Amino acid sequence: MKILVIEDEKALGDTLKTSLEKELYVVELAGTFHDALEKIAIYEYDCILLDIMLPGGSGLELLKELKSLGKSGNVIIISAKDSLDDKLKGLELGADDYLTKPFHIAELNARVKAVLRRNNLKGSYTIDWGNTILNIDERTLTVNDEEVYLNRKEFDILNYFLLNKNRLITKSALAEYVWGDQIDQVDNLDFIYYQIKNLRKKLLYAQADIEIESLYGVGYKLVEK
Protein backbone atom coordinates (compact mmCIF):
# COMPACT_ATOMS: atom_id res chain seq x y z
CA MET A 1 0.00 0.00 0.00
CA LYS A 2 1.38 3.34 -1.01
CA ILE A 3 0.54 6.55 0.73
CA LEU A 4 1.43 10.13 -0.18
CA VAL A 5 1.59 12.70 2.60
CA ILE A 6 1.26 16.26 1.30
CA GLU A 7 2.16 18.48 4.23
CA ASP A 8 4.36 21.57 4.27
CA GLU A 9 5.26 21.33 7.95
CA LYS A 10 8.18 18.94 7.80
CA ALA A 11 8.01 17.88 11.44
CA LEU A 12 4.41 16.83 11.04
CA GLY A 13 5.08 15.15 7.71
CA ASP A 14 7.90 13.11 9.23
CA THR A 15 5.81 12.12 12.20
CA LEU A 16 2.97 10.96 9.99
CA LYS A 17 5.43 9.07 7.82
CA THR A 18 6.95 7.30 10.84
CA SER A 19 3.53 6.41 12.15
CA LEU A 20 2.20 5.14 8.84
CA GLU A 21 5.33 3.11 8.18
CA LYS A 22 4.60 1.23 11.39
CA GLU A 23 1.50 -0.03 9.61
CA LEU A 24 3.82 -1.26 6.85
CA TYR A 25 2.74 1.23 4.22
CA VAL A 26 5.12 2.76 1.76
CA VAL A 27 5.03 6.47 2.52
CA GLU A 28 6.21 9.39 0.44
CA LEU A 29 6.33 13.03 1.44
CA ALA A 30 5.61 16.13 -0.61
CA GLY A 31 6.23 19.51 1.00
CA THR A 32 5.09 21.93 -1.67
CA PHE A 33 2.31 22.34 -4.15
CA HIS A 34 4.53 21.65 -7.17
CA ASP A 35 6.25 18.73 -5.55
CA ALA A 36 2.86 17.21 -4.85
CA LEU A 37 1.54 17.99 -8.33
CA GLU A 38 4.49 16.20 -9.89
CA LYS A 39 4.09 13.13 -7.69
CA ILE A 40 0.38 12.70 -8.24
CA ALA A 41 0.82 13.06 -11.97
CA ILE A 42 3.45 10.34 -12.17
CA TYR A 43 2.64 7.82 -9.46
CA GLU A 44 -0.39 5.97 -8.25
CA TYR A 45 -1.21 6.06 -4.53
CA ASP A 46 -3.67 4.06 -2.50
CA CYS A 47 -4.26 6.97 -0.19
CA ILE A 48 -3.30 10.64 -0.14
CA LEU A 49 -3.17 12.81 2.98
CA LEU A 50 -3.61 16.38 1.82
CA ASP A 51 -2.99 19.60 3.71
CA ILE A 52 -5.04 22.53 2.43
CA MET A 53 -2.59 25.34 3.05
CA LEU A 54 0.52 24.70 1.02
CA PRO A 55 3.35 26.88 -0.21
CA GLY A 56 2.80 27.49 -3.91
CA GLY A 57 -0.92 26.84 -4.03
CA SER A 58 -4.00 25.54 -2.31
CA GLY A 59 -4.61 21.93 -1.52
CA LEU A 60 -8.05 22.37 -3.02
CA GLU A 61 -6.39 23.08 -6.37
CA LEU A 62 -4.54 19.79 -6.06
CA LEU A 63 -7.83 18.13 -5.31
CA LYS A 64 -9.31 19.55 -8.52
CA GLU A 65 -6.30 18.22 -10.39
CA LEU A 66 -6.78 14.81 -8.79
CA LYS A 67 -10.45 14.86 -9.65
CA SER A 68 -9.66 15.55 -13.29
CA LEU A 69 -7.26 12.62 -13.18
CA GLY A 70 -10.00 10.54 -11.60
CA LYS A 71 -7.92 9.92 -8.48
CA SER A 72 -9.65 12.01 -5.86
CA GLY A 73 -11.50 9.16 -4.16
CA ASN A 74 -8.71 8.19 -1.84
CA VAL A 75 -7.88 11.62 -0.43
CA ILE A 76 -8.07 12.52 3.25
CA ILE A 77 -7.82 16.24 3.82
CA ILE A 78 -5.84 17.21 6.91
CA SER A 79 -6.41 20.84 7.71
CA ALA A 80 -5.95 23.28 10.54
CA LYS A 81 -9.21 24.85 9.48
CA ASP A 82 -12.24 23.37 11.08
CA SER A 83 -14.63 25.15 8.81
CA LEU A 84 -17.72 23.62 7.37
CA ASP A 85 -17.23 25.47 4.09
CA ASP A 86 -13.81 23.95 3.55
CA LYS A 87 -15.08 20.57 4.53
CA LEU A 88 -17.97 20.73 2.10
CA LYS A 89 -15.77 22.10 -0.66
CA GLY A 90 -13.24 19.33 -0.11
CA LEU A 91 -15.84 16.60 -0.07
CA GLU A 92 -17.54 18.09 -3.11
CA LEU A 93 -14.24 17.88 -4.95
CA GLY A 94 -14.24 14.19 -4.25
CA ALA A 95 -12.14 13.92 -1.09
CA ASP A 96 -13.04 10.90 0.97
CA ASP A 97 -12.59 12.33 4.42
CA TYR A 98 -11.66 15.45 6.31
CA LEU A 99 -9.53 15.45 9.45
CA THR A 100 -8.95 18.55 11.52
CA LYS A 101 -5.58 19.18 13.10
CA PRO A 102 -4.58 18.23 15.68
CA PHE A 103 -5.69 14.61 15.48
CA HIS A 104 -4.70 11.44 17.27
CA ILE A 105 -2.52 9.01 15.38
CA ALA A 106 -5.01 6.27 16.14
CA GLU A 107 -7.71 8.34 14.48
CA LEU A 108 -5.59 8.87 11.38
CA ASN A 109 -4.91 5.12 11.19
CA ALA A 110 -8.59 4.38 11.42
CA ARG A 111 -9.45 6.89 8.71
CA VAL A 112 -6.69 5.68 6.38
CA LYS A 113 -7.87 2.11 6.81
CA ALA A 114 -11.41 3.14 6.11
CA VAL A 115 -10.34 4.77 2.85
CA LEU A 116 -8.28 1.77 1.81
CA ARG A 117 -11.14 -0.52 2.67
CA ARG A 118 -13.68 1.45 0.68
CA ASN A 119 -11.41 1.42 -2.33
CA ASN A 120 -10.80 -2.31 -2.18
CA LEU A 121 -14.28 -3.46 -1.50
CA LYS A 122 -14.73 -7.15 -1.94
CA GLY A 123 -17.12 -9.37 -0.03
CA SER A 124 -17.91 -8.71 3.59
CA TYR A 125 -15.34 -6.80 5.49
CA THR A 126 -13.63 -8.39 8.46
CA ILE A 127 -10.57 -7.70 10.55
CA ASP A 128 -8.94 -10.72 12.01
CA TRP A 129 -6.09 -11.25 14.38
CA GLY A 130 -5.19 -14.65 15.66
CA ASN A 131 -8.35 -16.52 16.51
CA THR A 132 -10.39 -13.31 16.62
CA ILE A 133 -12.51 -12.12 13.72
CA LEU A 134 -14.44 -8.89 13.78
CA ASN A 135 -17.04 -8.56 11.04
CA ILE A 136 -17.52 -4.84 10.44
CA ASP A 137 -20.54 -5.13 8.18
CA GLU A 138 -22.46 -7.48 10.43
CA ARG A 139 -21.03 -5.99 13.62
CA THR A 140 -20.16 -9.36 15.09
CA LEU A 141 -17.17 -10.78 16.93
CA THR A 142 -16.14 -14.38 16.49
CA VAL A 143 -13.49 -16.01 18.64
CA ASN A 144 -12.52 -19.60 17.87
CA ASP A 145 -15.52 -19.79 15.52
CA GLU A 146 -17.87 -18.90 18.34
CA GLU A 147 -19.79 -15.69 18.34
CA VAL A 148 -19.24 -13.40 21.31
CA TYR A 149 -21.95 -10.87 22.08
CA LEU A 150 -20.72 -7.26 22.24
CA ASN A 151 -22.80 -4.20 22.95
CA ARG A 152 -22.54 -1.21 20.62
CA LYS A 153 -19.83 0.57 22.59
CA GLU A 154 -17.77 -2.58 23.09
CA PHE A 155 -17.92 -3.31 19.41
CA ASP A 156 -16.80 0.21 18.51
CA ILE A 157 -13.95 0.00 21.01
CA LEU A 158 -12.72 -3.33 19.70
CA ASN A 159 -13.05 -2.12 16.14
CA TYR A 160 -10.92 0.90 16.95
CA PHE A 161 -8.35 -1.28 18.64
CA LEU A 162 -8.21 -3.66 15.71
CA LEU A 163 -7.70 -0.77 13.33
CA ASN A 164 -4.74 0.15 15.55
CA LYS A 165 -3.10 -3.16 16.29
CA ASN A 166 -0.14 -2.79 18.60
CA ARG A 167 -0.57 0.97 18.63
CA LEU A 168 -1.19 3.35 21.47
CA ILE A 169 -4.76 4.53 21.75
CA THR A 170 -5.10 7.38 24.21
CA LYS A 171 -8.21 7.55 26.33
CA SER A 172 -9.25 10.79 24.71
CA ALA A 173 -8.82 9.36 21.20
CA LEU A 174 -10.95 6.40 22.20
CA ALA A 175 -13.55 8.61 23.87
CA GLU A 176 -13.84 10.80 20.78
CA TYR A 177 -14.15 7.82 18.50
CA VAL A 178 -16.65 5.89 20.55
CA TRP A 179 -18.57 8.55 22.45
CA GLY A 180 -18.29 11.39 19.92
CA ASP A 181 -16.59 14.75 19.74
CA GLN A 182 -18.72 16.17 22.49
CA ILE A 183 -17.23 13.97 25.16
CA ASP A 184 -13.80 15.53 24.77
CA GLN A 185 -14.11 18.00 27.59
CA VAL A 186 -14.84 15.42 30.20
CA ASP A 187 -12.72 16.12 33.24
CA ASN A 188 -12.68 12.48 34.07
CA LEU A 189 -12.43 9.68 31.53
CA ASP A 190 -12.64 6.93 34.15
CA PHE A 191 -15.99 5.81 32.85
CA ILE A 192 -14.19 4.46 29.78
CA TYR A 193 -12.51 2.00 32.04
CA TYR A 194 -15.77 0.17 32.74
CA GLN A 195 -16.36 -0.57 29.09
CA ILE A 196 -12.74 -1.68 28.69
CA LYS A 197 -13.05 -3.89 31.73
CA ASN A 198 -16.15 -5.60 30.32
CA LEU A 199 -14.49 -6.04 26.96
CA ARG A 200 -11.40 -7.52 28.57
CA LYS A 201 -13.56 -9.98 30.49
CA LYS A 202 -15.35 -11.07 27.32
CA LEU A 203 -12.09 -11.54 25.41
CA LEU A 204 -10.60 -13.48 28.28
CA TYR A 205 -13.67 -15.64 28.70
CA ALA A 206 -13.73 -16.46 24.99
CA GLN A 207 -10.02 -17.28 25.17
CA ALA A 208 -9.09 -14.79 22.49
CA ASP A 209 -5.46 -14.48 21.43
CA ILE A 210 -5.57 -10.77 21.98
CA GLU A 211 -5.74 -8.58 25.05
CA ILE A 212 -6.03 -4.92 25.92
CA GLU A 213 -3.02 -3.54 27.76
CA SER A 214 -3.09 -0.36 29.82
CA LEU A 215 -0.39 2.09 28.91
CA TYR A 216 0.92 4.48 31.55
CA GLY A 217 -2.55 5.61 32.56
CA VAL A 218 -2.85 7.61 29.35
CA GLY A 219 -4.30 4.94 27.12
CA TYR A 220 -4.41 1.36 25.91
CA LYS A 221 -2.84 -0.96 23.41
CA LEU A 222 -4.23 -4.09 21.80
CA VAL A 223 -1.58 -6.81 21.73
CA GLU A 224 -1.28 -10.46 20.92
CA LYS A 225 -0.81 -12.71 23.90
Partner 1 sequence: MKLLNKSLIYLTGAFLVIIGVWSIVFFIDLKDEIRDSIDDGLDNSRLLIIEKARDDTSLLTQNEFGGNNFKIQPISGNPGKRKSIYKDTLMYRLNENELEPVRILNTVFKHNDTYYKLSVISSLVEEDDLIEDAFWNLLWLFIILIFSIVIINNVVLRRVWNPFHEILNRLKTFEIDKDENPIAINTQIKEFRELQEASNTLMRHSRETFIAQKQFTENASHELQTPLAISMNKLELLLESGKLERREANTVAEVLQIIERLTRLNKALLLLAKIENKQYRDHQKIDVNALVKKYINDFQDFSDFKEIGVEVLGNSAVEVFMDTSLANMLFSNLVKNALFHNIKQGAVKIRFTETEFEICNSGTDTSLDESSIFNRFQKGNTDNGSNGLGLSICRAICGYYGFKLTYDFREQKHCFKINFDKTV
Query: Which stretches of the chain bind partner 1, using CB under 8 A?
Result: 9, 11-12, 15-16, 18-19, 80-84, 100-106, 153, 166-168, 170, 172, 179-180, 182-188, 190-192, 194-195, 215-219, 221
- Among residues 9 and 46, whose Cβ is nearest to partner 1? 9
Min dist CB 58 to partner 1, Å, is: 15
- Among residues 84 and 121, whose Cβ is nearest to partner 1? 84
Min dist CB 134 to partner 1, Å, is: 21
Task: Report d(CA 163, CA 98) in Å as an integer.
Answer: 18
Q: Where are the beta strands (DSSP E) in the chain?
A: 2-6, 26-30, 47-51, 53-54, 57-58, 75-79, 97-100, 126-129, 132-135, 140-143, 146-148, 168-170, 210-215, 219-224
- Among residues 124 and 188, whose Cβ is nearest to partner 1? 188
Please, what is the Cα angle at 135 between 130 and 139, to 5 degrees?
A: 130
Give start and end residues of each alpha helix (H) in 43-189: 59-69, 84-92, 105-119, 152-163, 171-179
- Among residues 117 and 221, whose Cβ is nearest to partner 1? 221
- Among residues 143 and 150, whose Cβ is nearest to partner 1? 150
Min dist CB 188 to partner 1, Å, is: 7
Please, what is the Cα angle at 63 between 62 and 64, to 5 degrees?
A: 90
- Among residues 123 and 217, whose Cβ is nearest to partner 1? 217
- Residue 45 phi, psi (nearest 5): -125, 150
- Strand 2-6 relative to strand 26-30, pairing: parallel
Min dist CB 120 to partner 1, Å, is: 26
Min dist CB 88 to partner 1, Å, is: 10
- Is residue 94 within 8 A of residue 106, CB to CB? The reply is no
Task: Report d(CA 194, CA 209) in Å as an integer.
Answer: 21
Min dist CB 196 to partner 1, Å, is: 11
